[in-house]
Structure 1
Amino acid sequence: MVDDRNDERSFFAERPPRDLKPSPPSEEKPHYLGHRQRLRERFRQTGPDTLSDYEILELLLFRSIPRADTKERAKALLKRFGSLAEVLGAPERLLREVENIGEGAALDLKIVAAAAQRMARGEIRGRELLSSWSQVLDYCRAAMAFEEREQFRILFLDKKNALIADEVQQMGTVDHTPVYPREVVRRALELSATAIILAHNHPSGDPTPSRADIEMTRTIIEIAKPLGIAVHDHIIIGKNGHASMKGLLLI
């Protein structure tokens, strides 16, 4: 007869000893993961207008900085540059100077800025610009308002005032851009443009036209008029707004 007790003793003797130490608690998920999900849901459900600038900036940083809290980084960028537009308009090297904003995040922000500029350009391409003036201003602001150096830009228009080309003719210093009126008109003739809109930025932020700006614009008008090329306006763009020479009755 088989002794069941021996089988029972043998069965339990062969089992490995049980670890009686309590298992460590499971690691908690980083707090920022829940915050990211909540912020994305707010964007989906209520739209961007309900989010502040730093929250929109956080959303942009999520993919660039996947394993860290982005709120303080977004606030640091705004503290340094002043607004979301100024963050996107800032040079990449200055973005990298902000603490915990690395090369990848800085580059991603500049890609977003480039996309916004392309979108603004798309809004005016092929349209009659004089009836889409607010979009012209939006485009010029996106393209030039936060440049560190002056740039002189020309919008070349056809006989229907639709955009043919948009070119930066000159880049200057922080407070001066050399402009050659005959070169402006020569390029208009090459493109068969019948009208142009001039634009340049003031990195100081103040868009008030200087005496040199006014005189240069009047010289271009004098050269262009006999050749059948109209100068519709000269727009000066600054961080704090814009000035229209035509609106100010300077041309």
Structure 2
Amino acid sequence: MRPLPSSTPQPSDRLSASLFDLPGALQPELDDASLLSLLMTRTLPQRDIPRAVETLLKVFGSVAAVVAADPPELARAASLNATTITDLKLLQQLSVRLARSEACRRPVVSSWSCLIAYVRSALAHAPREQFRALYLDRKNVLLRDEFLAEGTVDHAPVYPREVIRRALEVSASALILVHNHPSGDPTPSRADIEMTRQINDAARVFGLQVHDHLVIGRQGTASFKQLGLI
């Protein structure tokens, strides 16, 4: 006679149950504080979570800025442990990957809102200036998102020849330039305008088209094309 199955919950059963027992876990929308609190339930003592969440939102302003912050900044701001910081960075990567998957489904010129959502998720709250080039194929589908430079809070060194060299290496037909302004104001600087002119001039020599240069800030997104600068 076979023994009856044990009624003791297995580890996987307890984990599944615990996920659904989390307060608010099944709500369609959570505010920033609730989302961060739920995320930290696994890695911080319950008594420490409210203060940590309050401090993070006070220092960084939003959950988007929290997950974009550098690990040392997170540790200093709220004395977070390495596991909690890792979970926050994974949340950022997940949101960027989801936005990227939508941007890659169709030609970017016909799904511009998805492209803007992607680059904003990646750069709007970055603490330092970054410069990227989105390389497109002949159908304007995203081939590569290349991280080309990272600098200080107000400058990232960009070399036009490297931007074009990489376009030729990946057999791109067009590109979109993207960088962020950590100050929050996306207004292009004179240096931004001059650098874009140099890249555009070099691209023409090789039959490449620069569709746009997007400047990302917390206050919005500036398009060189819409501003008549390209």
Q: 1:67, CA displacement in angstroms?
A: 4.3
- Which residue pairs with 1:248 in the alignment? 227
CA distance in 2, matches of 1:172, 1:100: 26
Gapped runs of 5+ residues in structure 2? Answer: 1-17
SS of equivalent to 1:98: helix
SS of equivalent to 1:127: coil
Q: 1:205, CA displacement in angstroms?
A: 1.4
1:137 to 113, 116, 129: 116
- Which residue pairs with 2:9 in the alignment? none
Query: Can you list the C-alpha shifts for 1:79-109, whole angstroms capped at 9, x where unaligned?
Result: 1100111111111111111334222212211
- Which residue pairs with 2:38 in the alignment? 59
**2:54 counterpart of 1:47:** no
Q: 1:198, CA displacement in angstroms?
A: 0.2
CA RMSD of aligned residues (A): 2.0
Gapped runs of 5+ residues in structure 1? Answer: 1-35
- Which residue pairs with 1:178 in the alignment? 157
Q: 1:225, CA displacement in angstroms?
A: 1.6
**2:169 counterpart of 1:187:** no
CA distance in 1, matches of 2:33, 2:224: 35
TM-score for the superposition, normalised by structure 2: 0.86
SS of equivalent to 2:200: helix
The structure with the largest alpha-carbon Rg is 1
In 2 relative to 1, CA 74–191 (structure 1 residues): closer, same or farther, beyond 3 Å? same
CA distance in 2, matches of 1:153, 1:250: 18
Q: 1:240, CA displacement in angstroms?
A: 1.9
- Which residue pairs with 2:131 in the alignment? 152
In 2 relative to 1, CA 228–54 (structure 1 residues): closer, same or farther, beyond 3 Å? same
- Report the count of equivalent residues: 213
In 2 relative to 1, CA 39–93 (structure 1 residues): closer, same or farther, beyond 3 Å? farther
Aligned ranges for residues 30-109 of structure 1 at < 5 Å?
Answer: 40-44=22-26, 46-48=27-29, 51-109=30-88
In 2 relative to 1, CA 63–219 (structure 1 residues): closer, same or farther, beyond 3 Å? same
Query: Can you list the C-alpha shifts for 1:9-67, whole angstroms capped at 9, x where unaligned?
Result: xxxxxxxxxxxxxxxxxxxxxxxxxxx999835341x412xx32101111111112254
CA distance in 2, matches of 1:98, 1:176: 25
Q: Retained in 2: the 8 A contact 1:57–1:84?
A: yes
Q: 1:113, CA displacement in angstroms?
A: 1.0
Q: Retained in 2: the 8 A contact 1:55–1:71?
A: no
Residue identity in the other structure for 1:81: F
Sequence identity percentage? 49
